[in-house]
Amino acid sequence: MRPSILTPLFATTASLPGIGPKNAKLLDRLLAGSGKEARALDLLFHLPYAAIDRRNRPKIADAPLDTIVTLEVKVAEHLPPGARSKAPYKVLVEDDTGDVLLVFFLANHHWIEKSLPLGATRWISGKLELWDGHRQIVHPDRVLDAEGFAKMAPVEPVYLSTEGLFQKTLGRAIDAALAKIPALPEWHDRTALNIPALPSFAEALREVHRPNTPESLAPQTPARRRLAYDELLASQLALALMRAKIRRAPGRASEGNGQIREKIAASLPFALTASQTAAMAEIDADLGAETRMLRLLQGDVGSGKTLVALFAMAAVVEAGRQAALMAPTEILARQHHQTLATFGEAAGLRLALLTGRDTAASRGKTLALLAEGGIDIVIGTHALFQESVVFRDLGLAVVDEQHRFGVHQRLALGDKSAAADILVMTATPIPRTLVLTYFGDMDVSNLREKPAGRQQVATRTLPLERMDELIARLKRAIADGARAFWVCPLVEESEALDAAAAQERFVHLQQIFGDKVGLVHGKMKSRDKEAAMDAFAQGKTQILVATTVIEVGVDIPQATIMVIEHAERFGLAQLHQLRGRVGRAGAKSSCLLLYKAPLGEAAKARIGIVRETDDGFRIAEEDLRLRGEGEVLGTKQSGLPGFRLADLYAHGPLLSLARNEARKIVEESPRLEGPRGEALRLLLNIFERGEAIRLLRGG
């Protein structure tokens, strides 16, 4: 149960004074998403992105052009258009130094006459421009009498909004939400924070929503730093409590004799990299400890994570236990099964695949073998979460592409055994700040080298207008036996539209290359997708038209050409991941980025970075700089908590501080007791880290 002191913050916006049903629905759309209701807290956390400075109040003759000014004027003359004219309604206003025309297009004449009566003194605020030699303000932002002017904020915050919701309405709703903030105890140890004149949580929110200057919104102001630190501490504290719970749960040492691993190593046609060897040593140490392992293994495309996972799972099997590997898609699960079987079965490992597509008989047989210990390693999709999946003795749960599952789901597979160790992997290197933020409860191993045989992929750009040149080159390559991926544009976050774009390109290329062209997209049935991938892998087709369904994990070493159409629509990490589908078998490979000219600045920067480097860790850092944390990890799609008050690029240094503080808190008060503990529970509730509160109750 949420503490009653916080009830006002979680009241719906519909219950706020002055917000009717129509505006409440608009606020729901803006702040809450599909089917949910916006709350006062959502308004408070909807920070302004800019501010309009209305403090510039000169005389007309001194007023600078092309800036927002606030003028005290007398209404001198009304110049309405003719009865049938579509000309604007103009009002001449003046002071003792000059005059200005106020211009209103398609205006309500009655409102103008009422708001600007002849001879009256008014305060006008808006952008002053010069038109045909005369000063004018088109549609002034404010037309105020003395009473209205006295209430006007000298600096006005500007918020992201939605169609039909006016800034004035949004501002009024936020003022109502500010009035709802209860008197809260301080949860920070002020002496530990390097934030000068630390405002309270409530004061910080008021300062950001009611700025005194445009500079008050800058990320490094005490108010912004305070709010960012609150959010970061809530996140880190939740992770620290989760880690403490996992550490408290009894672990079991899994120490193998090395026999299976020696056989796997002997069968490898290449030597392990130094990074792989180091990661395996770290994992072995964790497996041999009495506490549960919780480790993140991250590496660039093709850095050999799956092999490291195989050695870890083999160690657990040597100790007489079982292992499971969970992948986000069926394609990837089948591919993992194929890869692991290549090396594992020769070493005597008994592997099985479990997906949602299995027949009832096949599934029943697999589940029975798993329960009695007849399977050493099971590979699957979300199907492994299901209650019907029972292990005889699960020792290690490996979760691939962790960020696609969400933070708490990684525990669901581990919970199949009270003492299972957990290893999560990602092929998209994650910047250090994001690792601390979303995986702060984990130890981290990085694979920074590429295994022997991985080639650097030659990356080139080409405008769409020159597609004929590309087709001519592709004809020559296909005639020589080459295989190419052709990835179609990301139309929008819509599988149906992306599939339509792929279908269109497929038809076009079929007219040129005939039955050498295949098609795969996310709307296809699993069986059809698999058939298309198999045909391409076997060389029956040589061009595979695809959406980003092939982005992660697809391994067809014979493919040496990657064409990415409308590359300007893809994120940096996506471009890098797609490029990583080629250059996997030692053959010379190329990636062609087709773009629509002219490129915007952001797209130009992304494409420039991809051409310049193939270091996934550097690309991840640049992606964070260009896009922000929410998009880099896909927080909306994965269920990860995106930040609303903290800007990780600006507030990165506060993250380590929050992590250290969270660990100290949990060490000193693991159940968050006493006055500060109660205040910290409020913090966790405010930032909706309810999972952490439940962990406290569950011990």
Backbone angles phi, psi at 124, to 5 degrees: -115, 130
Please check whether residues 418 and 463 belong to one and the same domain. no
For residues 84-93, b (16+ Cβ closer than 10 Å) or e, as one string?
eeeebbbbbb
Q: Are strands 351-354 and 543-546 parallel, antiparallel or unpaired?
A: unpaired
Please check whether residues 439 and 464 belong to one and the same domain. no
What's the total number of domains in the chain? 4
Q: Identify whether 15 is part of a domain.
A: yes
Conformational region of residue 197, where left means phi above 0, alpha means psi within -120 to 50, and beta covers everything else: left
Cα(228)–Cα(9) distance, integer angstroms? 18
Cα(377)–Cα(25) distance, integer angstroms? 50
CATH number at residue 285: 3.40.50.300
Cα(17)–Cα(223) distance, integer angstroms? 26
Asked whether 691 and 238 are in contact (CB, 8 A), the reply is: yes
Backbone angles phi, psi at 250, to 5 degrees: -65, 130
**∠ Cα 276 298 448 (to 5°):** 55
Residue where a domain stops, chosen among 152, 174, 196: 152
Please check whether residues 476 and 496 belong to one and the same domain. yes
The number of beta carbons lying within 10 Å of the beta carbon of residue 120 is 13
Please check whether residues 177 and 148 belong to one and the same domain. no
Please check whether residues 31 and 69 belong to one and the same domain. no
Q: What is the pLDDT of residue 554?
A: 65
For residues 233-243, b (16+ Cβ closer than 10 Å) or e, as one string?
bbbbbbbbbbb
Q: Is omega for the bond preceding 431 within 30 degrees of 0, making it cis?
A: no
Please check whether residues 471 and 357 belong to one and the same domain. no
Residue holding tokens 């915007």? 600
Radius of gyration of the chain (CA): 31
DSSP annotation string for 64-114: PTTEEEEEEEEEEEEEPPPTT--PPEEEEEEETTEEEEEEETT--HHHHHH
Residue holding tokens 């929503």? 209
Print the domain residue range for 115. 55-152
Beta bridge partners of 394: 322
Backbone angles phi, psi at 384, to 5 degrees: -70, -20
Alpha-carbon dihedral 67, 72, 74, 79, rounded to 10 degrees = 20
Q: Identify whether 583 is part of a domain.
A: yes
Q: Identify whether 633 is part of a domain.
A: no
Q: In which order are the strands placed within the sheet that holds 517-520? A: 458-463, 590-595, 559-564, 483-487, 543-546, 517-520
Residue where a domain stops, chosen among 419, 447, 475: 447
Q: Encoding tokens for residue 449?
A: 């080298």
Please check whether residues 192 and 139 belong to one and the same domain. no
CATH number at residue 69: 2.40.50.140
Q: What is the pLDDT of residue 635?
A: 47
Q: What is the pLDDT of residue 621?
A: 82
AA identity, residue 56: N
Q: Encoding tokens for residue 655?
A: 């993250």
Intervals of the chain under pLDDT 70: 192-196, 249, 402-418, 433, 437-438, 440-441, 451-453, 490-500, 549-554, 627-642, 695-699
Q: Encoding tokens for residue 543?
A: 């061009």
Please check whether residues 196 and 267 belong to one and the same domain. no
pTM of the model: 0.69
Q: Identify whether 126 is part of a domain.
A: yes
Please check whether residues 513 and 443 belong to one and the same domain. no
Q: Identify whether 22 is part of a domain.
A: yes
**∠ Cα 9 11 12 (to 5°):** 125
Please check whether residues 170 and 300 belong to one and the same domain. no
Please check whether residues 268 and 402 belong to one and the same domain. yes
Q: Identify whether 699 is part of a domain.
A: no
Please check whether residues 545 and 608 belong to one and the same domain. yes
Q: What is the pLDDT of residue 432?
A: 73
Q: Identify whether 14 is part of a domain.
A: yes
Residue where a domain stops, chosen among 613, 641, 667: 613
Q: Identify whether 221 is part of a domain.
A: no
Beta bridge partners of 125: 70, 142
Conformational region of residue 424, where left means phi above 0, alpha means psi within -120 to 50, and beta covers everything else: beta
Q: How far is CA 506 from the centre of its chain?
A: 30
